[in-house]
């Protein structure tokens, strides 16, 4: 995705919010210095060049540099994983007892990105899972997705955040039961970036005990030129299906031509840009098949 007008103020706000979360007592001078460096980078950036997720990496690297820490979100990611695991058993019971376990598992995986894991809103989360129906999806290509899985033997899931990865594990478990012949491979970031899931998170929640987990790129999304050779091999494998989770991965794939693949986006619309692109409301959950140039 190229840089869009809505993204510019959002980037500066993300830098501000990151400092406020990670070090609330940090000086205004340090925040402004990081924002100034981001501004200088944007001034020299080719607006016709694919911006996401490259600019996101630059923004959060500036935060890490100012704090003098390689992985400033490390403790937060661990906390998110631990809190999400507290919901796991109950969510699993709901999925297994559902009329359509696969659909329910997809919803759990989507809602896992929407709750505030920093506060223990267990009742709301479980209630949302129980009460969510196909009608609650702003865009619903679930039936097409099921048919795509029936027509393939290979699924690549592009994972998103720590914490959320706990519910991705539940989705993978359900898919393996539903489609026992399906080979599932999951991808994570190749280095710490924001609160995105890494191989360490996949191991912590036990996902690596179920399926192969590979590393993609060290960016908040998929920067194809810098992805690992193994990721490129799986990404361009013919006649497979890709399930892209989260907004960062969507922004990476938006407008990209991916031949011989069925691609599906599963995400929550978190900003006005997503509202505009998908013609939905902010906060809506989207499950959409990728179409030409989308």
Q: Domain ranges for the chain, please list them.
A: 7-67, 74-289
Among the listed ranges 35-44, 127-136, 198-207, 218-227, which one has the minimum average pLDDT value? 127-136
Residue 210 and residue 173 in contact, taking contact as beta carbons nearer than 8 Å: yes
CA-to-CA dists, residue 266 to 19, 142, 279, angstroms: 28, 10, 15
CATH of domain 74-289: 3.40.50.10880
CA-to-CA dists, residue 239 to 84, 150, 172, 186, angstroms: 34, 12, 20, 17
pLDDT over threshold 60, residue 127 = yes
Q: Is 42 left (phi over 0), alpha (psi -120 to 50) or beta?
A: alpha
Residue 213 and residue 241 in contact, taking contact as beta carbons nearer than 8 Å: no
Q: Which residue has the higher pLDDT, 123 or 233?
A: 233
pTM of the model: 0.95
pLDDT over threshold 80, residue 245 = yes
Among the listed ranges 13-17, 50-54, 112-116, 181-185, which one has the minimum average pLDDT value? 112-116
What is the spatial order of strands in the sheet that 285-289 belongs to? 137-140, 285-289, 261-268, 240-245, 154-158, 183-188, 212-215
CB atoms within 10 A of CB 257: 8
pLDDT over threshold 50, residue 118 = no
Q: What pLDDT, on the 0 to 100 scale, is given for residue 33? A: 98
> φ, ψ for residue 80 (rounded to 5)?
-60, -45
pLDDT per residue as tens digits for the range 82-117: 989 999 999 999 999 999 999 999 999 999 877 654
Residue 145 and residue 264 in contact, taking contact as beta carbons nearer than 8 Å: yes
pLDDT over threshold 80, residue 123 = no
> φ, ψ for residue 164 (rounded to 5)?
-55, -30
Among the listed residues 122, 126, 129, 84, the one whose alpha carbon sits nearest the alpha carbon of residue 103: 129
pLDDT per residue as tens digits for the range 173-198: 999 999 999 999 999 999 999 999 99
The mean predicted confidence, pLDDT, of the chain is 93
Q: What pLDDT, on the 0 to 100 scale, is given for residue 50? A: 79
């Amino acid at each position: 995705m190229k840089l869009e007008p809505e993204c510019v103020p959002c980037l500066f706000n993300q830098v501000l919010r990151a400092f406020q979360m990670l070090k609330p007592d940090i000086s205004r001078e340090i925040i402004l210095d990081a924002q100034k460096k981001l501004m200088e980078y944007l001034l020299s950036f080719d607006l016709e060049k694919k911006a996401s997720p490259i600019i996101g990496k630059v923004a959060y690297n500036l935060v890490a540099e100012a704090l003098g820490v390689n992985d400033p979100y490390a403790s937060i990611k661990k906390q998110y994983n631990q809190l999400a695991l507290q919901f796991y058993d109950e969510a699993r019971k709901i999925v297994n007892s559902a009329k359509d376990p696969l659909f329910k598992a997809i919803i759990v995986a989507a809602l896992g990105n929407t709750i505030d894991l920093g506060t223990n809103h267990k009742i709301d989360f479980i209630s949302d899972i129980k009460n969510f129906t196909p009608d609650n999806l702003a865009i619903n290509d679930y039936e097409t997705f099921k048919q795509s899985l029936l027509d393939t033997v290979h699924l690549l899931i592009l994972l998103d955040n720590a914490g959320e990865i706990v519910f991705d594990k539940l989705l993978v478990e359900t898919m393996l039961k539903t489609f026992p012949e399906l080979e599932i491979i999951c991808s994570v970031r190749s280095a710490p970036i924001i609160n995105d899931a890494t191989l360490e998170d996949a191991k912590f929640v036990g996902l690596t005990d179920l399926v192969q987990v590979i590393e993609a790129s060290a960016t908040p999304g998929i920067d194809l030129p810098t992805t690992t050779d193994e990721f490129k091999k799986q990404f361009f494998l013919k006649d497979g299906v890709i399930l892209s989770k989260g907004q960062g991965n969507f922004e990476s794939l938006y407008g990209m031509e991916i031949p011989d693949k069925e691609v599906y986006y599963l995400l929550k619309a978190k900003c006005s840009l997503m509202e505009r692109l998908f013609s939905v409301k902010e906060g809506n959950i989207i499950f959409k098949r990728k179409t030409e140039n989308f």
